[in-house]
Structure 1
Amino acid sequence: MKILTKADHDADTNERVTSLANDDDPLTLKDRLKELDRIELHFPHFTDGRAYSQAYLLRRRLGFKGDLRATGDVLIDQLVQMERTGFSSAVLKEGLDADDAERQFARFAGFYQGDLASH
């Protein structure tokens, strides 16, 4: 998973991007997916997990192959689960260290359950 700071994210000028609020239906993008390089899914608060379901639907049901990016209130402890549900990049909440975030992935060598990252 690619970890970004807000500055990294703001510097990205790709125009083939759309954003979904956490209460938007990802199925509305079905006919536009081939036009998009990235879909940004927003976490308004770290306790609101609807973007995990959106990511799963976009990857599994709609077959989106581009970048799924988590934005908003993204904490280090969420990153492993984000990757497992289909996210490929995340913009860390301001004030968090990207190196600390990278170390989070080394903490877990494997999982018993399957996920979208290993399929």
Structure 2
Amino acid sequence: MSEQLIKNGRVVTDPRLIVTLAEGEAPTDIAVPAGPVLVPLAVWQARREELLARARSGELGVWLAAGEDVAALADDVSLLSVIGLQFPKFTDGRSYSAATLLRTRYAYRGELRAIGEVLRDQFNYMTRCGFDALQPRAGRYSDAQLEAALTSIADFTQPYQHSVKDPLPLFRRVSRENSQEVQA
């Protein structure tokens, strides 16, 4: 089933299936369906050679659970057109740090997708950390609510802090040429 998600500031339909492991299921035993998919990191690690051609074609991406080390993908970032980072609950911010690391330390340029408990209140912060696709869990928002949520991406037009999106803090981005010095 295709999901609605926000991608590059627009609501789009995406057929990519997120594959999950059932409790006790081994990464080597899971059936990876045909078509566009995101597989768990454990499946990628266990079956990398088998899945490599699909990754290179852009059909297959990898998702990491919150807390999984992005360094595990360091050698593969150039192969993956999509990497998903899971938000298991809205109070778990580990995937923000993982997104920033992927964009800065590992120079990942493909689609970085937030999946799971992705809430409208967080859209702006997620894009500032480098996410360009936001996929709330199925049923979280109606199509109309997702369209309305697009505005929240631009809630703060001039954030003070630096980010992946704005590498310089506001005080470094603002020109001070016209300011006058205060005389003592």
Would you call these one fold, judging by a TM-score over 0.5?
Answer: yes
How much does 1:107 deviate? 2.9
Given candidates 104, 108, 116, the residue that maps to 2:152 is 104
Contact map agreement 1:33 1:64 (CA 8 A) in 2: yes
Given candidates 122, 133, 150, the residue that maps to 1:78 is 122
Give the unaligned 5+ runs of structure 2: 1-7, 17-35, 37-57, 168-184
Equivalent position amino acid for 2:156 in 1: F
Equivalent position amino acid for 2:118 in 1: V
Q: Which residue of 2 aligns with 1:40?
A: 84
Equivalent position amino acid for 1:95 in 2: R
RMSD: 1.7
Q: In 1, Cα distance between the equivalents of 2:155 and 2:122?
A: 13
For these two proteins, the number of residue pairs brought into alignment is 116
Contact map agreement 1:18 1:39 (CA 8 A) in 2: yes
Within 5 Å, give how 1:1-119 maps onto structure 2.
1-2=8-9, 8-9=13-14, 11-12=15-16, 13=36, 14-93=58-137, 94-96=139-141, 97-119=145-167
Larger radius of gyration: 2
1:46/1:4 CA distance change after superposition, 3 Å: farther
- Pick which of 72-81 and 89-98 moved more: 89-98
Give the unaligned 5+ runs of structure 1: none
The structure, 1 or 2, with the larger RCO (C-alpha pairs under 8 Å, 6+ apart) is 1
Q: In 2, Cα distance between the equivalents of 1:44 and 1:99?
A: 23
- Pick which of 105-114 and 59-68 moved more: 105-114
Equivalent position amino acid for 1:108 in 2: F
- What TM-score comes out, normalization by structure 1 length? 0.87
- What TM-score comes out, normalization by structure 2 length? 0.58
Contact map agreement 1:4 1:89 (CA 8 A) in 2: no
Q: Percent identity?
A: 35
Contact map agreement 1:92 1:98 (CA 8 A) in 2: no
Q: In 1, Cα distance between the equivalents of 2:155 and 2:79?
A: 36
* Deviation by residue 1:90-111 (Cα, 9 ceiling, x = unmatched): 0123232212210113432211
Q: Flag the structure with higher helix content.
A: 1
